[in-house]
């Protein structure tokens, strides 16, 4: 059984208003979700292949190494809800291990899910599949066709790092609220580590992360009618140790003005647009966050270097 549901529609005007407010702010910023247009998604996939970008491959290693322990903690027969599923590949690799009865990939547009989910349904005909289009950063209310029993939210890749710790708590509380007493969470979290390793992961030698960051300017030109010249901007990606986060910025190479149909913004040389934060956690402070959000009975798995962690939590 295969079904697709678009729950929330993105409104073009509210997207424009939100983006222009960020660009016009004293400290200009954009939400990291605008990094992922069609080309941005491909550049992110290329980042995941880079030697410097350890999270994707380290998380995969943890899932492979600890598959049976993870299966034991999670239990079979879950309703597997995959937040930010994209091509559904990470979850699909876990089907034989987790044996879910229903698979529910969620992404911003249900159209991103169609091809991948149709193929998966043929490969796994006994799993009920329900593709959902929803911006789950705003709300997390699932349609009735998503079984309420044994909901297991799956949030891999350390995407939680894009939220500030306060926002991450609210987000985890929203997941908690979407679960019955038998629900849980399987999440991948990037860990605090030596600055040189983190700096390299977000400013790689080939310049793929630079291209990924700069590409947001092309996306903005498309969405807003701005006249950003990609050549006039430099990628900055570095670990801020005080804040336990990677910061990505775009920095003006010289004084310039960006214009759009109803306005403009001047940037002086060296002025930045903040495009992303990626918070890094310790096992201790992530445990505190989960506990405060209403989760308990925690299990953690990590790699030999303790660079990345996969965590399972039951609701309490
Ligand atoms: C998709 C948010 C997990 O923070 O590592 C990769 C995005 N940005 N390189 C991350 C990203 C620059 C990635 N997340």
Find the length of the chain.
Answer: 316
Using pLDDT thresholds of 50, 70 and 90, give the confidence band for residue 315. very high
Contact 40, 219 (CB under 8 A): yes
Rounded CA-CA distance 157/141 in Å is 22
Contact 246, 239 (CB under 8 A): yes
Helix 38-47 vs helix 208-224: crossing angle, to nearest 10:
170
Q: Once rounded to an integer, what is the mean pLDDT over residues 138-161?
A: 96
Phi, psi of 87 (to 5 degrees): -85, 5
Q: pLDDT at position 11, please?
A: 84
188 lines ligand 1 (CB under 6 A): no
pLDDT tens digits for 56-89?
999 999 999 999 999 999 999 999 999 999 899 9
**H or E element that contains 58:** helix 55-65
Rounded CA-CA distance 225/258 in Å is 10
Ranking 108-112, 225-229, 311-315 by mean pLDDT, the lowest is: 108-112
278 CA distance to ligand 1 middle (Å): 7
Percent with pLDDT over 90 in the chain: 94
Is 294 exposed, middle or buried (CB count within 10 Å of its CB: 0-12, 13-18, 19+)?
A: middle
Q: pLDDT at position 109, please?
A: 85
Using pLDDT thresholds of 50, 70 and 90, give the confidence band for residue 298. very high
**H or E element that contains 176:** helix 165-177
- Residue 9: Cβ within 10 Å count: 10
Q: pLDDT at position 8, please?
A: 80
202 lines ligand 1 (CB under 6 A): yes
Q: pLDDT at position 111, please?
A: 87
Is 97 exposed, middle or buried (CB count within 10 Å of its CB: 0-12, 13-18, 19+)?
A: middle
Ranking 36-40, 251-255, 276-280 by mean pLDDT, the lowest is: 36-40
86 lines ligand 1 (CB under 6 A): no
Using pLDDT thresholds of 50, 70 and 90, give the confidence band for residue 138. confident
Contact 257, 269 (CB under 8 A): no
Rounded CA-CA distance 23/96 in Å is 46
For all residues of the chain together, what is the average pLDDT? 96
Q: pLDDT at position 277, please?
A: 98
47 lines ligand 1 (CB under 6 A): yes
158 lines ligand 1 (CB under 6 A): yes
Q: Once rounded to an integer, what is the mean pLDDT over residues 37-47?
A: 95
pTM as predicted = 0.96
For residue 10, pLDDT over 80 is answered with no
Q: Once rounded to an integer, what is the mean pLDDT over residues 148-173?
A: 98
Using pLDDT thresholds of 50, 70 and 90, give the confidence band for residue 9. confident
Strand partners, 79: 102, 151
Using pLDDT thresholds of 50, 70 and 90, give the confidence band for residue 134. very high
Q: pLDDT at position 255, please?
A: 98
């Amino acid at each position: 059984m295969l079904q697709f549901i678009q729950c929330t529609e993105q409104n073009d005007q509210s997207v424009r208003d939100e983006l222009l407010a960020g660009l016009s702010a004293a400290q200009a910023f954009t939400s990291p979700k605008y990094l992922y247009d069609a080309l941005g998604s491909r550049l992110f996939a290329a980042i995941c292949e880079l030697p410097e970008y350890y999270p994707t491959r380290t998380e995969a290693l943890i899932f492979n190494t600890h598959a049976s322990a993870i299966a034991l903690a999670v239990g079979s027969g879950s309703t597997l809800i995959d937040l930010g599923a994209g091509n559904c590949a990470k979850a699909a690799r876990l089907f034989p291990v987790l044996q879910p009865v229903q698979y529910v990939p969620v992404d911003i547009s249900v159209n991103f899910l169609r091809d991948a989910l149709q193929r998966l349904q043929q490969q796994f005909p006994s799993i009920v599949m329900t593709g959902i289009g929803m911006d789950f950063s705003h709300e997390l209310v699932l349609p009735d066709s998503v079984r309420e029993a044994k909901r297991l939210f799956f949030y891999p890749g350390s995407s939680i790092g894009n939220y500030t710790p306060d926002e991450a708590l609210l987000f985890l509380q929203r997941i908690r609220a979407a679960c019955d007493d038998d629900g849980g969470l399987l999440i991948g979290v990037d860990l605090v580590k030596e600055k040189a390793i983190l700096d390299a992961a977000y400013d790689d030698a080939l310049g793929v992360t630079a291209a990924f960051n700069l590409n947001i300017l092309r996306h903005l030109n498309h969405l807003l009618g701005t006249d950003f010249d990609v050549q006039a901007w430099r990628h900055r990606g570095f670990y801020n140790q005080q804040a336990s986060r990677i910061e990505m910025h775009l920095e003006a190479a010289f004084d310039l003005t960006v214009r759009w149909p109803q306005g403009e913004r001047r940037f002086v040389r060296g002025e930045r647009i903040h495009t992303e934060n990626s918070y890094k956690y310790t096992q201790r402070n992530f445990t505190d966050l989960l506990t405060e959000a209403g989760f308990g009975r925690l299990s953690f798995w990590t790699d030999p270097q303790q660079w990345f962690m996969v965590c399972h939590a039951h609701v309490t």
